[in-house]
Structure 1
Amino acid sequence: MNALLNKSLFLVKEHLGIFKAANNYDIYDPATNELILNCREHNLGFFSKIIRFTKYKKMTPFYLEITTVSGEKIVSMKRPTTFFRSDVEVFNEKDQLIGLFKQKFWSMGGKFEVTDQNGKPVCVLQGKWTGWEFKLSQNNKELAQVSKKWNGLGKELFTSADNYVLQINDTVPQDHKDRKLILAAVLCIDMVLKE
């Protein structure tokens, strides 16, 4: 596992754009303000690009890839076209399935069951009704939290770009396989719930 995933604090900044179809993110170390990871949405189809400019954009498929600044793949996520709820697959650097985010119906603030590749529950990703904070918990123990960072009135009103802070608790061991799922949770929140 890449040592960058052993950090406990990440700042995820979505690229600004008034008319953009693809979603791209930069991931920083907030302590040093250093860019440590990139997340790019590759291979967005022509029809998906068109639909992204309509009210149906939440239904479009996506494929995101998180890499180091030098291009080494860390994790990727994909979702097919969806109509009612989203199931997002998460893959490791070798394109092997490592987990899923299964969206739950009728939850205030958004809720996902996070499972491993065999469908065994790993944790729950639950948002507050205000939509500004999310927690990943396992057996009522918090593993990590994701908070939306305020961008300022101009950016909030005129763009769809959001910034998030991910804080992983010390209870999650370094080099633990679930750290990839925890990092992917931030992008799942933005792509499924906030876009």
Structure 2
Amino acid sequence: MHAVLQRNLFLVKEHVGMFKAANNFDVYCPENGQKLIECREPHLGFMTKLFRFTDYKRMTPFEVVLRTPEGQPILTVKRGISLLRSKVAVLDEQGREVGLFRQRLLTIGGKFTILNPMGEPICTLKGKWTGWDFRFMQGERELAHVSKKWAGAGKELFTSADNYMLRISDGVSKEDPVRLLIMAAVMCIDMVLKE
């Protein structure tokens, strides 16, 4: 696991633009505004681009690659075509599968079950239908929280509705592979649940 994921606070900022088919994000340190991660969709096919401008956008496949600004791989998040519910694979920097997300059907606010490579549940991502508030829960224990609320030094970066804050709990070990899955799931919130 890359050292950049050992932090506990991340500011995720989506690139905005007219006629934008690809999902592109940058992840910053909220304390000093330093760019930590670039998230890009480098292998977007013509038909996928075309469908991204229709009501079928939430069903299109994606492959988002997360790298450092220097180009070092961190992880990859990918999904095929999604008809009823999404199943998303997470790969580490060597291309090994480290986990999966399975979207739950008929949930208010959105919900993912986060699975290890053997398909066993690790934790759940739960959202509220009233706004942008998501929690990674392992039973009653909160592993991480994603929201649009932030009033720290990075406030000047936090100006668009497409920006949000990821806060990983201090109780999650710096070496815990669940950090890879949490960061990957943050990309999926926007692409699967909120588009």
Bin the TM-score by the shorter chain.
over 0.9
Task: Please list, as runs of the form range in 1=range in 2, the aligned pairs for 1:60-139 lying within 5 A after superposition.
Answer: 60-139=60-139
1:132 and 1:93 map into 2 onto residues whose CA distance is 29
Task: Give the drift of 1:148.
Answer: 2.6
Q: Which residue of 2 aligns with 1:50?
A: 50
Code of the residue aligned with 1:128 in structure 2: it is: K
Letter in 2 for 1:99: G
Distance 1:81 1:37 in 2: 26
Q: TM-score, normalised by structure 2?
A: 0.93
> What is the CA deviation profile of residues 85-122 of structure 1, one whole-angstrom value per residue up to 9, with x for unaligned ones?
00010000011111011000111100000000100111
Structure 1: tracts of 5 or more residues without a match: 157-161
Match of 1:18 in 2: 18
Question: Structure 1: how far apart are the matches of 2:131 and 2:184?
Answer: 18
- Across the two proteins, how many residue pairs are aligned to each other? 188
8 Å Cα contact 1:12/1:28 also seen in 2: yes
Q: How many angstroms apart in 2 are the aligned matches of 1:149 and 1:64?
A: 25
Show CA shifts across 1:118-168 (max 9, x none): 00111000001213100001011000000135966xx55xxxxx1110000
Give structure 1 regions of 4+ aligned residues with deviation exceeding 4 angstroms: 149-152
- Which residue number in structure 2 is paired with residue 167 of structure 1? 167
Unaligned runs of 5+ in 2: 151-157
Query: In the alignment, is the contact (CA less than 8 A) between 1:164 and 1:186 conserved in 2?
Result: no
Name 2:154's counterpart in structure 1.
none
Q: Distance in 2 between matches of 1:177 and 1:66?
A: 16
Q: Which amino acid aligns with 2:145?
A: Q
Equivalent residue of 1:49, what SS?
A: helix
C-alpha distance in structure 1 between counterparts of 2:27 and 2:47, whole Å: 28
What CA distance in whole angstroms lies between the structure 2 residues aligned with 1:194 and 1:19?
18
**Tell me, what secondary structure is at the counterpart of 2:148?**
strand
CA distance in 2 between counterparts of 1:85 and 1:10 reads 27
- Tell me, in whole angstroms, the C-alpha distance in 1 between the residues paired with 2:50 and 2:174: 41
CA RMSD of aligned residues (A): 1.3
String of CA shifts for 1:47-86, please: whole Å, max 9, x gaps. 0101111111111000001111111100101000111100
How far has the Cα of 1:176 moved from its partner?
1.1
Task: Normalising by structure 1, report the TM-score.
Answer: 0.93
* Aligned-partner SS, 1:50: helix
Structure 2 residue aligned with 1:35 = 35
